Amino acid sequence: MADKSATLTIDGNEYQLPITDGTLGQSVIDVAALQEAGYWSYDPGFKVTAPVESKITFINGGKGELLHRGYPIDQLANNAEYLEVAYALINGELPNSEQKEDFFKKIRQHSAVHDQLRKFFEGFRRDAHPMAIMVGVVGALSAFYHEGLDISNENDRELTAIRLIAKMPTLAAMSYKYSQGEPFMYPRKDFSYAENFLYMMFATPGDTDYKVNPIIADAMDKIFTLHADHEQNASTSTVRLAGSTGANPYACIAAGIAALWGPSHGGANEAVLEMLDEIGSVENVPEFMEKVKSREVKLMGFGHRVYKNFDPRAQVLKKASDEVLEALGIDDPKLELAMALEKIALEDPFFIERNLYPNVDFYSGIILKAIGIPTSMFTVIFSLARTSGWISHWLEMHSTPFKIGRPRQLYTGETKRDFVQLEDRK
């Protein structure tokens, strides 16, 4: 029960709005009394609206802090595997060795997809964007797992989470293989989660002794961990909103993938590379910066709605990107250009005054490019990683009472009630 409240006076009437404190971070004002007052709250972009209570992830944007189930993100990224982080997101704690073995085994068991799903891929043009394919094929999973799936049953919900996390790398790699006209690779049970994804992406059926470079597998796993969850962002909110209707969970995740695709959200890592293509070379950076300042374009991979000092995920990835570039001895002019851009932007008053720093997508774009992942797959990889976060939020919602998400609006359209009766127009 809240022991603080705010007083709202409207039309001479006073309303007490209870204030509730979380364990950390911002307190919230419960505005339900507005209904009684005959008003709605108005907050485009949900800048100050908390539609849910959650125990999964905490972000302090000012301090650049990100915690999953209370664990700091840098510690998770440097000391735990992505699948352990996924387990923690779902279950609240990192697994002990027995739980880890059991969870990893279940993920391996469910990593293959139904053979009939191949036909869905064949329905797409070869040049279809892999995110378009992902929206389709993940949504199609709901056709495979609908009858018999009881979302009020905890075991069914858990199985859904396992299936999704297990199948996403397989589907993601299939979407790439399809665009290349190469045969799909079946998942292998002797590889780690990240190795398996890289194997399904880059191996071909003749590669019987295919080995994954451990530096690349480690960087890939870090990218997965750093994208695993980010509290109530646009795609997670989409999954929750779709889930609040009781919709099939695979369809809800497909909705999350659709929301993630946009360049203001997960599509930014791809947009970073497109921007580097547009700039071309280091000499063109000053001219491009002028366009940014005159608001003709945005510097993709910079800025964040929540982080206004630094993005803690970007810090881990910057170190990883330095290691990958050095270990692989990559000498790519585009990566050199990215570094020049980062340096100039970090020193320029326009960016300093607006607290614009490189975000996770800036460095993940650089690493993915360095390890040979095609640009069009960047957001697909984000969606693969974010699936553990999305499904954790869906699970959290379904394990407590919830209401259908149904926002209100401020109507500013016309009123033609007295203009003409429709039947008079005949």
Written as one letter, the residue type at 163 is R
Residue closer to ligand CMC (CB basis): 95 or 266: 266
Burial class (CB in 10 A: 0-12, 13-18, 19+), 413: exposed
DSSP secondary structure of 330-396 = ---HHHHHHHHHHHHHHH-HHHHHTT--B-HHHHHHHHHHHTT--GGGHHHHHHHHHHHHHHHHHHH
Task: Return the number of other C-beta atoms located less than 10 Å from residue 74's C-beta.
Answer: 16
**40/46 with CB nearer ligand CMC:** 46
CB 39 within 8 A of CB 45: no
Q: Which residues contact 333 (CB under 8 A, 6 or more apart)?
A: 281
Report the nearest approach of ligand CMC to the CB of residue 172 (Å): 18
- The tokens describing 71, both together, are 């664990």
The residue among 17 and 289 lying less far from ligand CMC, judged by its C-beta, is 289
Instruction: Provide the minimum distance between the beta carbon of 235 and ligand CMC in the complex, in angstroms, as a whole number.
Output: 8
Residue 211 burial (CB < 10 Å; 0-12/13-18/19+)?
exposed
* Cα separation, 89 vs 231, whole angstroms: 11
CB of 263 to ligand CMC, least distance (A): 6
Cα 132 to Cα 103, 118, 137, 142: the distances in Å are: 30, 15, 9, 16
CB-wise, 171 or 360, nearer to ligand CMC?
A: 360
Query: What are the contacts of 65-68 at 24+ separation with CB within 8 A?
Result: 65/312, 66/230, 66/312, 66/313, 67/24, 68/228, 68/229
Tokens (6 digits) for 205: 């059926």
- Identify which of residues 244 and 269 has a Cβ nearer to ligand CMC in the complex: 269
Please, what is the minimum distance in Å from the beta carbon of residue 302 to ligand CMC?
Answer: 4
Nearer to ligand CMC, 201 or 300 (CB): 300
Q: Which is nearer to ligand CMC, 184 or 302 (CB)?
A: 302
To ligand CMC, the closest distance from the beta carbon of 24 in angstroms equals 20
> Catalytic site residues?
304, 361
Q: Tokens for 408, please give them.
A: 């209100």
Q: Is 1 helix (H, G, I), strand (E, B) or coil?
A: coil
Quote the radius of gyration of the chain (alpha carbons, Å).
Answer: 23
The per-residue DSSP string of 62-131 comes to: TTTEEEETTEEHHHHHHHS-HHHHHHHHHHSS---HHHHHHHHHHHHHT-S--TTHHHHHHTS-TTS-HH
Q: Under the phi-then-psi rule, with left for phi > 0, alpha for psi from -120 to 50, and beta for the rest, what region is 335?
A: alpha
For residue 183, the 8-state DSSP code is P
Least Å distance, CB 273 to ligand CMC, is 12
Minimal distance, residue 378 CB to ligand CMC, in Å: 11
Q: Which residue is nearest to ligand CMC (CB)?
A: 303
Q: Please, which residue, 33 or 306, has the CB nearer to ligand CMC?
A: 306
Q: Which residues bind ligand CMC (CB under 6 A)?
A: 230, 233, 264-266, 268, 292, 295, 298-305, 354, 356, 359-361
